[in-house]
Amino acid sequence: MPNAQGVPRVALVGANGHGRWHRRVIGPLHDAGRLRLVALVDTRPIEPEPAAPVPADTRVFTDHRTMLAEVAPDIVVICTPPHTHLPIARDAVAAGADLLLEKPPVLSTAEHEALTELLRSTGRVAQVGFQALGSTALTALTDAVTAGRLGTVTGIATVAAWQRPDAYYARAPWAGRRFLDGHPVLDGALANPLAHAVMQCLAVVEAVTGEPVQPAAIEVERYRVRPIEVDDTAVLRVRPHQGPPIVAAVTLAGEDFIAGEVIVTGSAGRAVLEYPTDRLLLPGDDTASEIPGRRGLLENLLAHRGDPTVPLIAPLARTAAFTAVLTALRAAPEPTLLGGDLVDVVGAGPQRVLRIRGVNAVLRRAAEQGALPSEWGVPWAVEPWCTDSATPAPQQEPTE
């Protein structure tokens, strides 16, 4: 329970790696007296973070269960490998805590439903770490959609081209893996680094229909340029029961850098949101404008706890369609390996980068036309894996 002054007690599970970003968010809120950082948990020694020194009275643990028993926090921030989210979340909720749960929150629709039921039965809440949903620029885009500025929306797409070196896939035992020790991981481009792009598109469909997205069919072409088990390049198409289709065309083996664009096409014009930079181009604009401002997910969770009429930005329920995409990826076969003259090698050692020749043009065409590469004869494209169900059955998982 909160302390006598009503200041929520916060614990961070997974304090290293990306957890350092959370520490930089938590630190100023701790210093301002809006929360109290009572515990950090990590299996490795806590890495220093100059921008957010560990408060003197913050306890450090290597096991989250021990922390929950000894500290009893009000909020638990979970920033651990995706396949560990559900068991840690269950323990934290059972101990009476609300959650800020990194994305992806869970790795299947069955897990999503299990966590949803646990939250319902305990009265606890979970905010999911899709921080780009707090963007003022995204709100400006969805406001334009609902106001009819784009007319009838006919398609929503996202395109992104990033590069990840060899070191990225050596960052953790679960990096680039589909399963680890018999547990699903799904550390692919769609599920992890470019998950925000997919979630932004789902948020725009919400604005079009006024209700959460329910996928009717999911189609995906998945590729890889390394001996990994997941995609580093993919084109996904989601056909909702209501609303326009979504196409996500992304790569971690790009040529030129594309930060991440959400493209909304309507009968009265087109809008483009570069979501990592909050730059927005609306119909009638000559150039894109930066629309600054993001509502922090942890601050929003604090506000919701103080006044439940304040809606969460990224409640677990809002991410159900994203989890349906992960369920499809979990059921799909391994991605196709690309190589030979199609792939360029740049650099050496841990910073070596592999790039697919012409991939940026392919991804842009997919996003612009709403079509998969195999549908217009890209030589290296393969037939998509498809499901006509929002919750396809996963492939049998390895037992060891």
pLDDT in tens, 101-127: 999 999 999 999 999 999 999 999 999
Residue 233 located in a structural domain? yes
Average pLDDT rounded to a whole number, residues 337-345: 97
| pLDDT band per the 50, 70, 90 thresholds, residue 155 | very high
Residue 231 lies in a domain: yes
CATH assignment of the domain containing 248? 3.30.360.10
Lowest average pLDDT, out of 65-79, 169-183, 185-199, 293-307, goes to: 169-183
Q: Which of the residue ranges 38-42, 189-193, 251-255 would you say has the lowest mean pLDDT?
A: 189-193
Q: What pLDDT is stored for residue 172 in this prediction?
A: 86
pLDDT of residue 392: 39
Confidence of residue 391 (pLDDT cuts 50, 70, 90): very low
Has residue 109 been placed in a domain?
no
Task: Name the 3-class secondary structure at 346.
Answer: strand
Residue at 147 is within a domain:
yes
Does some domain include residue 22?
no
Reported confidence tier of residue 355, pLDDT bands at 50, 70, 90 = very high
**Is the model's pLDDT at 66 over the cut of 50?**
yes
Q: What pLDDT band is residue 183 in, cutting at 50, 70 and 90?
A: confident
Instruction: Specify the amino acid at residue 131.
Output: Q
Q: What is the pLDDT of residue 389?
A: 45
- Whether residue 306 is contained in a domain is answered as no
Helix 85-94 vs helix 109-122: angle between axes, to the nearest 10 degrees?
10
Confidence of residue 397 (pLDDT cuts 50, 70, 90): very low
Tokens 């289709």 correspond to 245
| 86-89, long-range: CB < 8 A, 24+ apart | 86/111, 86/114, 86/115, 88/13, 88/64, 89/115, 89/118, 89/126
Q: Which pLDDT belongs to residue 179?
A: 85
Cα angle 201, 110, 251; round to 5: 35
Range of the domain at 235: 135-291+316-365
Q: Is residue 208 a part of any domain in this protein?
A: yes
In a domain, 130, yes or no: no
As a whole number, mean pLDDT of residues 198-203 equals: 97
For the residues 172-193, what does the mean pLDDT come to? 88
Give the three-class secondary structure for 96. Answer: coil
Residue whose token pair is 């996202």: 158
Average pLDDT over residues 176-198: 89
Task: Indicate the range of 237-241, 266-270, 349-353, 395-399 predicted with least confidence.
Answer: 395-399
| Mean pLDDT of the residues in the chain | 93
- What is the per-residue pLDDT for 180? 83
How many domains would you assign to the chain?
A: 1
Nearest-angstrom CA–CA distance, 96 and 92? 7
Exposure string for 140-174, b = 16+ CB within 10 A, e = fewer:
bbbebbeeebbeebebbbbbbbbbbbeebbeeeeb
Residue-wise pLDDT tens digits, 262-307: 999 999 999 999 999 999 999 999 999 999 999 999 999 999 999 9
What is the model's pLDDT at position 5? 55
Q: Which of 185, 243, 172 is nearest to 212 (CA)?
A: 243
Quick one: pLDDT at residue 388?
67
The predicted pLDDT at position 336 comes to 97
Residues 356-380: pLDDT tens digits? 999 999 999 999 999 999 999 999 9
Does pLDDT of 395 surpass 70? no
Q: Does 184 have pLDDT greater than 90?
A: no
CA nearest to 124, candidates 133, 137, 135, 115? 115
